[in-house]
Structure 1
């Protein structure tokens, strides 16, 4: 049995399509675990800020450090045996934090309310941009949750910290569950 060049090209295109879908599925599954991890962290952090506003400040960074460590663990888990730790991911976190810190503390002099809105939207911007390479779900999550945060910033009043716990905590967890199915 011989295969013509047109049929061989179609078969190779089918293989390439399956490989691309598998790669996207692996990326979505890792990203889903990471966003659900950050949802739990944001829920705890913003819930603590809502209940005890003194939690805002240096302790916030310590809670985020747990999230960064968890993210590195999730990314390392999907790596091949003997692979180096995901240093680019750590570098990306550090760059985002440095950029955010300069704007939030040096240039903008943000107060607690502004910082509570700024930090998740900064990282959601990264999610939205990642969608240009990894699939529309990233962009939808980044833009959708940012819109909810902006709405909460302007219209939630005294319940802002609690609404942020719901949006960034519950929203991230729900989006992670959705990404697992995308």
Structure 2
């Protein structure tokens, strides 16, 4: 039995597609819990600011610290078990973070809703960009978050934090579950 050159090339292409898909799904499953944790932070902290305007903003310090610690511990417990994301994802996220900080500083931090909207849009952009490198489910999550921010800002700014908590946090929680089940 001889294998034709075209058959061999087709088989190798199928193996490569399967490998890429396997890496993508493994990355989704690994990231799902982290996205879910950040979704809970968005939900709880934005609702805290909405319902307790004077002291609710303090919840962000606790929420961000807890989700960051969880992300680091969860990431280190899976080191070597999942796909290697490489320098591109790290560079993309770092670049987005630097621009987010610069834009917030230039635009001013006088209006907490505006600061929240800018940070949320940059997080959405990072998810969208990460999806280009790792898998389109992240891109969809970023686009939904950007849509929520835009709708809340332009159509119901008085309930901005409520929108961000329920719809933005809900989108991240749903995305986390969707990623885990990949």
Query: TM-score interval w.r.t. the shorter chain?
Result: 0.7 to 0.9
- 1:7–1:88 Cα change, 3 Å: closer
Alpha-carbon offset, residue 125 of structure 1? 0.4
TM-score, normalising length from structure 2?
0.82
- How many residue pairs get aligned? The number is 177
Task: Provide the residue aligned with 1:167 in structure 2.
Answer: 167
After TM superposition, give the deviation of residue 8 of structure 1 in Å: 2.1
Q: 1:119: how far off?
A: 1.3
Q: How far is the alpha carbon of 1:78 from its aligned partner?
A: 2.3
Aligned pairs for 1:83-162 (under 5 A) are 96-104=96-104, 106-110=105-109, 111-162=111-162
C-alpha root-mean-square deviation of aligned residues, in Å? Answer: 2.8
How far is the alpha carbon of 1:95 from its aligned partner? 5.9
Q: Which structure 2 residue ranges, 5 or more long, are not aligned?
A: none
Instruction: Name the residue aligned to 1:10.
Output: 10
8 Å contact from structure 1 (residues 132, 139) kept in 2 = yes
* CA distance in 2 between partners of 1:11 and 1:173 (Å): 38
Aligned mates of 2:5, 2:174 — CA distance in 1: 46
The one-character-per-residue Cα deviations of 1:65-123 (angstroms, maximum 9, x if unpaired) are 22222222222232127xxxx9998887666555433322x311131110121212111
Deviation at 1:146, TM superposition (A): 0.4
Query: What's the TM-score, normalizing by structure 1?
Result: 0.82
